[in-house]
Structure 1
Amino acid sequence: MAKIVMRGNFSSKGIQYIINQLERYKTNLRQKAELLCRRLAETGQTVALQSINDSPLGKTITLRIEMSPKPDGCKAILVAAGQTKSNDFGVISTLLLVEFGAGIRLNSNENPKAGEFGMGVGTYPGQIHAFDQNGWYYWGKDEKWHHTYGTKATMPMYNASVAIRTQVAAVVKEVFQ
């Protein structure tokens, strides 16, 4: 942001003039902080949507931005939610399947955050097929057998976080110029 110089004299009228300048600056700064939050969240949302759409399970995932003003600026959160699917072993969110993957054949490179969150290929409770190179069959709701190699991790939230971190400097420069 450019250097701001405020001028005025020390009369009551001059001091009021400086106070008014500071109030306008404060309002402008708050608006720019909100714009910065929104722009960074939208950057992440765009990248996450691309990754979500790269997965056959993408249509089961919703994405939204939650913004809230704070005394010192604002807070923006990119929120993703998947449908829950259940089988004989338990319940899982489709977002977790898309973020961390299932099946080693499609996921030789795991999500870099997998270990940190205890997620990833072969971590689903009761899993028995994650490392089958030839895939496996499951009984579908349509009462037919289906072959699968699992779910490829397209990592929407991880990719969104990388994009946001990569774009911070450029977006700050653009918003506060």
Structure 2
Amino acid sequence: MPAARESLLDAAYTALARRPWPAVRMVDVAAVAGVSRQTLYNEFGSKEGLARALVRREADAYLAGVDRALAIPADPRERLAAVAEWTVSAARGNALIKAMLTGCWSERLPSPTLTAVPSSSAVPAQRRADGPLPSPADLVALARDRAVAVLSGPGKTDAAELARSCELVVRLALSCVSAPPGEGGVTALVRTVLPRHPTRSG
């Protein structure tokens, strides 16, 4: 039941904004979502399963934002700047995305193991959540590879050079999460370090 699952994840996310994860109670999450506690356990199996699903959803949301940034009608440098802006804003506005991108998990947050866990769930979305969760390096690579796929094409620079530019932008954005940039923000930094057409050959 996808609607109930999303409602439960929304309720868990809201609860996490108000109290540390260890203090979040499954019964309260179910009540806020308007479903039974049994429905919650049917969907996620356990509190650890709920945590894994929540982390997986936020990782997917970050990558969906990368895709949206890459889809704007602009030249490649500006699209990469949009990816950088999204990365910074997503990390600043969402503690789970920040933790996933930086690897810095506070005691307030759920911190499920990134390796796969045994899953007996009949729910496909939960089986996916019980699989490997992305590390910071994984998320950087996924964002880089999405950018390469969108920006590469005939008559453009080799894939390795493009991949370096794309990864540089994501890592530059992550540096701005820890140390906010000066005037012009991360976009100004991207424009400074990338050539006007980073995907065109010399």
Q: Same fold (TM over 0.5)?
A: no
TM-score, L = length of structure 2: 0.28
Greater Rg over alpha carbons, structure: 1
TM-score, L = length of structure 1: 0.31
The answer to which structure has the higher strand fraction is: 1
The answer to which structure has the higher helix fraction is: 2
